[in-house]
Amino acid sequence: MSHCHDEHCDHDHDDLPGQGEQFLLYQRIDHDNVRCLNEAEQDSVKQVIRPWHERMDNDKFVESDADEQLLIYVPFTGIVKLRTICLRTDRGDEAPSSMKVFVNRDDMDFDAAESYTPVQTWDLVHQNDDVAEYQTRITKFTNVRNLTLFFPDNFGADTSIIRYLGFKGEWSEMKRDPIITVYEANANPADHKIPGAENKMDHSIQ
């Protein structure tokens, strides 16, 4: 059973058939373009973003490399209204202790993550072995094309470990920019010639 970490939690936690996947956005993620900075094994982050029924798999995880920090970029295939971030970390001190999230930023690195103001910050629980669900301030997450999740610290270990990462919300197709046809508001003097007035009009039409 997953656990909500927000005082305004109003969704069903039962892992009955269909319940856990009701709003899961796994199939709406652009998996090929998911990336992570400071991961010990290249592309291991793609293994932790997986279907809900595989959330307890301990063989797949992402671990940080040089220090405890991780920076994960997750693009979607459309527009998302993000309601929940689902996170399963590690039982030990390798579990991240905080999470900062940025929306629709394609230029994030560790320097930017340290200096920019996140859309929302969470203090993470020191888990047993559950999936924790962190609710978003929904008004800040209504037009999400991509997310950057920054895990700056953990509970004291040299490296950090994340075992599952998922998202709940609503997806809609990304609309293309409409083709706008601009009609001429003013009449073209050339279409309404007045006898003897051609010479007067020529200099005013560019």
**Bridge-partner residues for 63, per DSSP?**
161
For residue 35, pLDDT over 80 is answered with: yes
Q: Chain-centre distance of CA 193, in angstroms?
A: 59
Structure tokens given for 70: 């991780």
pTM of the predicted model over 0.85: no
Structure confidence at residue 159 as a pLDDT band (50, 70, 90): very high
C-alpha span between 120 and 68 (Å, rounded): 20
C-alpha span between 35 and 72 (Å, rounded): 6
pLDDT at 104: 98
Contact 103, 119 (CB under 8 A): yes
Backbone angles phi, psi at 100, to 5 degrees: -115, 135
C-alpha span between 197 and 120 (Å, rounded): 67
Mean pLDDT of the chain: 84
**Bridge-partner residues for 101, per DSSP?**
120, 149
Least confident of 16-20, 33-37, 61-65, 138-142: 16-20
Q: For 10-36, what is the mean pLDDT?
A: 69
